[in-house]
A and B are shown apart, each in its own frame.
Chain A
Amino acid sequence: MTADLSQLFEQYYPALVRMLYRRTGDRDRAEDLAQETFARAVSAPPDNPRPWLFAVALNLVREDGRRTVTRGRRLELLRNEQDRPAPGPDVEVVRNEDTARVRAALGTLNERDREALLLKAEGFNYDEIAATLGLAKGAVGTTLARARRRLVEAYRAQERGEHVAS
Chain B
Amino acid sequence: MSHLDEGTLHALLDGELEMTEVKEIQAHLGSCSACGTRLRQVKEFYAEADRLVGSLELPGTGAAAAAGGSRSRSATLEPRTEVARVPAPLPPTPEGPPPIFLPDNPDWSERTRRVIAPMKWAALLVLAVGAGFIASESRRGRPASVPFDASDTSAPVLSAEEATPQPDSGALTGSADQLTASGESARPAAASSRAAESQTSPLVPRGELAKAKDSEEGLLDSATTANDETVELAERNRPTAARRSTPPPAQPAPNAVRTEAAKALEDLDRERRAERAAAATAALDSARRRDEAAARQAPSKGATVVTATTPAPAPPPTTAPPQRTLEQRADTYMRIGLDEAARQLGRPVHVIEGLSPLFMGLAQGRTSPGADTTRPVVRVVYQDAQGRLILLDQQRLRPGQDTTPPAGGQPHWTMGEILVHLHGEIGPEVLRTMRARVR
A contacts, CB < 8 Å to B: 10-11, 13-15, 17-18, 21-22, 27, 30-31, 48-49, 79, 83, 92, 95, 98-99, 102-103, 105-106, 117-118, 120-121, 123, 125-127, 139-149, 151-152, 155
> Which residue on B lies nearest to A31, using beta carbons?
B77
User: Which residues of B sit under 8 angstroms from A14, Cβ to Cβ?
Assistant: 77-80, 85
What is the bound-complex CA distance between A125 and B344, given in angstroms?
Answer: 8
Residue of B7, B50, B396 near A121 (CB, 8 A) is B50
Nearest CB of A to B53, in Å: 5
Report the bound CA distance from A126 to B389 in whole Å.
31
Beta-carbon contacts of B45-82 to A below 8 Å, as 1s and 0s? Answer: 11011101111101100010000000000000111100
Is the CB–CB distance between B11 and A126 below 8 Å?
A: yes
Residues in B whose Cβ lies below 8 Å from that of A13: 77, 79
How far, in Å, is A110 (CB) from chain B's closest CB? 15
B5's closest neighbor in chain A, by CB?
Answer: A142
Q: How far is the CA of A95 from the CA of B55 in the complex (A)?
A: 9
Taking residues whose C-beta sits less than 8 angstroms from the other chain, chain B's interface range is 35 or more
Residues of B within 8 A of A (CB): 5-11, 14, 16, 42, 44-46, 48-50, 52-56, 58-59, 63, 77-80, 85-86, 343-346, 374-375, 396, 399, 417
- Which A residues are in CB contact (< 8 Å) with B417? 11
Q: A92-B63, A95-B63, A149-B45 are in contact. Are A22 and B53 (CB under 8 A)?
A: yes
- How far is A22 from B89 in the complex, measured between Cα atoms in Å? 14
A125 to B362 CA separation, bound complex (whole angstroms)? 14
Q: Enumerate chain A residues within 8 angstroms of B79, measured Cβ to Cβ.
A: 10, 13-14
Contact B6 A102 (CB under 8 A): no
* Residue in A30, A99, A147 whose CB lies within 8 Å of B55: A99
Ordered by A's residue number, 18 sampled pairs between the chains whose C-beta atoms are within 8 Å are: A18-B85, A22-B53, A31-B77, A49-B399, A98-B55, A102-B56, A118-B53, A121-B50, A125-B16, A125-B375, A126-B16, A141-B8, A144-B10, A145-B7, A145-B9, A145-B45, A148-B50, A149-B45
